Structure 1
Amino acid sequence: TLLNALFGTRFDVMDAARGRSQTTKGAWVGKAKACDVVVLDMQGTDSREGGEDSKSFERQSALFALAVSDTLVINLWVHDLGRYNAANLHLLRTIIEVHLRLFGAGKRRLVFLCRDHVRQVTPLAALEEMVRADLAAIWAEVPKPALLTSSSLDEHFDIQIASLPHYELERSQWEAEAGALRPLLEWRAAEVPAVPADGFEPFTRSVWGTICAERDLDLPSQREMLARFRCAEVADAAVGAVRNATGPLVRALLAGGEPVANLGARLGALLNASIGKFERVAALYERRVADAKRPEVRARLAEAASSVLERQLEAAVRRAERVHGAALAAAAEKGDLELADRVLSAEAA
């Protein structure tokens, strides 16, 4: 309901008139209408339909959401605060523990959204104190890598606590306060390398495959793999563009055609455009992957251009023989080397 209200998505919502049951099953992705934000709606962890069999998927989906998102919203019923399982603290412990193994993963924002909050009964500051106390207890208990034993929770997570009144009983107040939450959720992690839109699908597919295989989720490796894939893809496209553009010229020259006018300038512009396209796309991904790929791309482009250059030289030789062959032969018989030089200079010009 909140995501639909803030971002214009169309996720399913519960119809209370038909009974209270699980609404979201699995993971759903939507594009915000008014901004460039991808929104994920994840299956809840507290429905009776899930049962014990769903616990593994709940952990997997929570890790997936953390891995691919800048902001993770933990939706809490205000009356569940202080209760370990009902407040999803067991799942939160798993999230924090695995996050510490995401080498270089950067900071994430965790927004604890307490719904059905009656401020006249419990002030928001009291809720925040309870949430932070639970987080401090979890942080003290989770095992940490050696390099992170002295680090604090705030170094890894930007913690925000917010609340909303009852949706049905205080609808107008809920709508007013919900709208104010949007900047809180649109937070962007500056330390986390962005995944370009055209790489989002293979990146998320790779992350999900890693999670399902129960391997340690090393996001830098996932991003590096994505960078290698995309750099190779755009390199192939750049080389293919040069070959497609020069192919007709090569065939014409092989058929005995005349040398191509202004070939050097045309090839130069084509090569510059192709390498420029590679650079623009590669700049969006891991720099060291692009730097390692660049010499290979330049070599492949040079090889693609060399074929037409060789045919151009052959055509130039044929024309020189046809146009100046007799004069060169006569000069050779007479030993007139100056005439030969003049003929060759004129041809070169």
Structure 2
Amino acid sequence: MSEETAAPTGSAGASADVLPIVNQEGRMLERTPWFPSELDVGAECYRVIGCAGSPLSGKSTLLNELFGTHFSVSRVRATDRRRWSTRGISASLAANQETILVLEVDGGDGGASGQQLQERCLRYICSVSDVVLCNVWYHDLGRYDSDPQWCLRTMVRELSQAEGPLLRTCVVFVVRDADGDALDSTAAVTDALWLDAEEYWQQETGGSGSSSTSSSGAAATSSRSVETLRAALELRVVLLPTPRASSSAYDTAVQRLRHEMLDAGGLLSSEFSKGLPADGFAAFSRRLWEGIAAQPAGWSRGSVPLALHMASVDRGAFALASGGNGALPSEALVAAYHCDGAFSEILRNSAEELGELASQLEEGDKISGFGRRAEDLLNKYLSGFESATEAYAGQEVRERKRAELESVLDASLQSLFLKQLQLIRENALQHFKTASSSEEIPGDFAFYTADALFQREAEDSVRPGSDWSYANERSDLQQTMAEISARRKQLIHVQIQAAEQQRQAMQYMQLQQAQLQAIQQQQYGGTLGNWNVGVAYRPPDTNVNLSLLHQQGRTQVQVSMVPDEQAGLLGPNGFTSGVGPGNLGVSFNINI
């Protein structure tokens, strides 16, 4: 079925933000997901509001005022009500709230087929909604075949057929046009609705409302059943005045209801959450709708719902129609709820242990045998999930959540695997640098030993049976080592060139020095040639000292006058008497 085939026929002026999900023929939209934001929100649970009730009672207007949606507002007059036909269900996200989903049952009473579709729509929103808004007229309260009674019967019947633990749902009866003294009758209306709900519950469960229950044991069973109903159902009443009479009072009441629903700890809290993740809501809704459509029609709005039990449902026929699992929509919802809870619990438990491993890796410590340890952890968590959801074995939602859990855990373990590879790569690279720096170890040998070390430890870190790969990291390591080897070879080549240039420069300097010495020998050479001669003479009894030095073709004559070294001991003219003309030494040089 194409998307266009499944789309309901909406009234003029429908917003693009509003998505028709069930058409007037009872077919649900096949598109998955419904809204693109579901993929961004992911496994975060939707908070779902369903709205049903009297036709032309202002459901769309109320939803637009409460949640900023753009549901189409009908302009049909109340006198034209017979021309209004049931159009299925429309959905929209609340303004600036990607996790608040609003569902509206469109239309009203359009004959027997329309009543049957409307009953299915109401059963659907009762199954998936955290809060159900029943928009009704004040003057319809108390009438046996009115819209409030029909909505209440349908919801009680849905709860009575559920197997296993019941999920808590809040039902708010929004009563329109309650003016005057009626605005003070909230408690009385609530009590009256509870009495009707308990009566319907006893009729559905075979309690005191049935002619077959007269013993005290049956009465006790009925009492427990009523307690079960009150534990699963939260009934509230909101009275709205006529906006034409007092628009300010109407706006105040609507804003009060808005805060009561959206404020922290309000009606849209975890107390009533069905735990349905956004990214799986469309697929789950389609399976739920197919299950509802496969069941036989329950009862019409004008009939008396007496002795309607699960024994009247042909489970074999339903199992065939619903794909063979035999699960009623309420059973599937309970399974989804518990599987999602087990899923979240396993993730919380695994976060601490995986966090410890991540801290160890961040501190630079490798995890020995990481692959085997990752496999043991994955099996432990999956076994814990299977044990917690054993009661729902064979149901599709359990298999889907198990596969999702395995995927999430595998992704978390793989992120740790990548950190492990970084440490292995750093160790292998350090091994290569150390080995290649030694002149005794060839560079190629250092390369292959480091690569083998990385491959051995990386292979030991791969989880058995996974698609983890270390090919990219190994290729990066090899490329890095090749670059280091190339730079090292280039450095050695530069050093050799520098040494050769230095050797050549020294040879050139030695040659230049030899040439200079040869020139000097030619310029200053004489008869003495390369001889060096030195002569000194001091005449007796004088202070005159004569010296002659011939070296490298130059002759140096030195005349000096110095006192006798023993003058201080021989007479008053020595140095001991002071420095004077008699003991002052004089010298001068003459170069020839």
- Whether TM exceeds 0.5 here: the answer is yes
Partner of 1:208: 289
Q: How does 1:46-125 map onto structure 2 within 5 Å? A: 46-47=108-109, 50-102=110-162, 103-121=164-182, 123-124=184-185, 125=187
Cα distance per residue 1:228-286 (max 9 Å; x no partner): 225425756987997xx99xxxxxxxxxx9647745777799x7xxxxxxxxxxxxxxx
1:33 aligns with 2:198: no
- Say if 1:122 and 1:235 are closer, same or farther in 2 by CA, change over 3 A: closer
Shift of 1:138: 2.0
Query: How many Å apart are 1:173 and its aligned residue?
Result: 1.8
Are residue 196 (structure 1) and residue 258 (structure 2) matched? no
CA distance in 2, matches of 1:222, 1:210: 14
Shift of residue 182, structure 1, vs aligned partner: 1.9
**Alignment-derived partner of residue 220 in structure 1:** 334
Shift of 1:113: 1.1
Q: Distance in 2 between matches of 1:59 and 1:96?
A: 12
Structure 1 counterpart of 2:189, from 127, 147, 155: 127
Amino acid in structure 2 at the alignment position of 1:213: A
1 CA distance for matches of 2:238 and 2:78?
29
Distance in 2, matches of 1:34 and 1:84, equals 40
Matching residue within 451, 458, 465 for 1:300: 465
Question: Does the 8 Å contact 1:93/1:142 carry over to 2?
Answer: no
Instruction: Give the C-alpha shift of residue 167 in structure 1.
Output: 2.9
| Higher relative helix content | 1
Range with bigger deviation, 215-224 or 144-153: 144-153
SS for the counterpart of 2:181 is coil
Q: TM-score, normalised by structure 2?
A: 0.40
**2:237 alignment partner, one of 127, 147, 161:** 161
Q: Give yes or no for contact 2:134–2:171 (8 Å, CA) kept in 1.
A: yes
- Cα deviation digits, residues 96-123 of structure 1 (max 9, x gap): 1221332223110011111111133563
Partners of 1:191 and 1:126 in 2: how far apart? 24
Partners of 1:76 and 1:68 lie apart in 2 by 21
Q: Tell me how far apart the structure 1 counterparts of residues 188 and 78 of structure 2 sit (CA, whole Å).
A: 35
Q: Is the 8 A contact 2:157 2:204 kept in 1?
A: yes
Deviations 1:142-187 (A, max 9, x none): 2269997413232110111111011333222211110110244452
Inter-partner Cα distance in structure 1 for 2:408 and 2:190: 53
- Of structures 1 and 2, the one scoring higher in RCO (CA 8 A, sep 6+) is 1
CA distance in 1, matches of 2:105, 2:397: 24
- Kept in 2, the 8 Å contact 1:30–1:38? The answer is yes
Shift of 1:126: 3.3
SS at match of 2:271: coil
Structure 1 CA distance, aligned partners of 2:62 and 2:112?
27
1:300 partner SS: coil
In structure 1, the residue corresponding to 2:238 is in which secondary structure?
A: strand
Please provide the CA RMSD for this pair. 3.9
Shift of 1:200: 1.2
Query: Aligned AA for 1:143?
Result: T
Query: For residues 188-337 of structure 1, what are the structure 2 equivalents within 5 Å?
Result: 188-190=269-271, 192-214=273-295, 215=318, 216-217=328-329, 218=331, 219-222=333-336, 224=339, 225-232=396-403, 235=406, 259=451, 262=454, 299-301=464-466, 304-305=467-468
Instruction: Report the residue type matching 2:177 in the other structure.
Output: D
Distance of 1:120 and 1:94 partners within structure 2: 30
Q: Which residue of structure 2 aligns with residue 284 of structure 1? A: none
| Residues 178 and 240 in structure 2, CA contact (< 8 A), matched pair in contact too | yes
Whether the 8 Å CA contact 1:30–1:40 is kept in 2: the answer is: yes
Change (3 A) 1:233 1:194: closer
Alignment of 1:140-155 (within 5 A): 140-143=202-205, 149=222, 150-151=224-225, 152=227, 153-155=229-231
> Cα 1:213–1:121, aligned 2, differ >3 Å: closer, same or farther?
closer
Aligned partners of 1:109 and 1:158 also within 8 Å: yes
TM-superposed deviation, 1:220: 2.4
Q: Distance in 1 between matches of 2:182 and 2:148?
A: 23
Structure 2 CA distance for partners of 1:240 and 1:161, relative to 1, 3 Å: closer
Match of 2:55 in 1: none
For 1:14, the equivalent position in structure 2 comes to 74
Per the TM alignment, residue 55 of structure 1 is displaced from its structure 2 partner at its CA by: 1.7
The aligned amino acid for 2:258 is R
Structure 2 Cα separation of the partners of residues 98 and 53 of structure 1: 20
Structure 2 Cα separation of the partners of residues 148 and 260 of structure 1: 74
SS at match of 1:142: helix
Q: What is the TM-score of this pair, normalised by structure 1?
A: 0.64
Corresponding residue of 1:288: none
The 8 Å contact of residues 136 and 173 in structure 2, kept in 1 or not, is answered as yes
CA distance in structure 2 between the aligned counterparts of 1:52 and 1:183, rounded to whole angstroms? 38
Specify the alignment match of 1:180 in structure 2: 256
- Deviation at 1:13? 1.3
Q: Deviations over 1:82-103 (max 9, x none)?
A: 1011134234223212213322
In structure 1, stretches of 5+ residues that fail to align are 247-256, 272-297, 316-349
Whole-Å separation in 2 of the counterparts to 1:23 and 1:2: 20
Gaps of 5+ in 2: 1-60, 208-217, 296-317, 319-327, 340-395, 419-446, 479-592
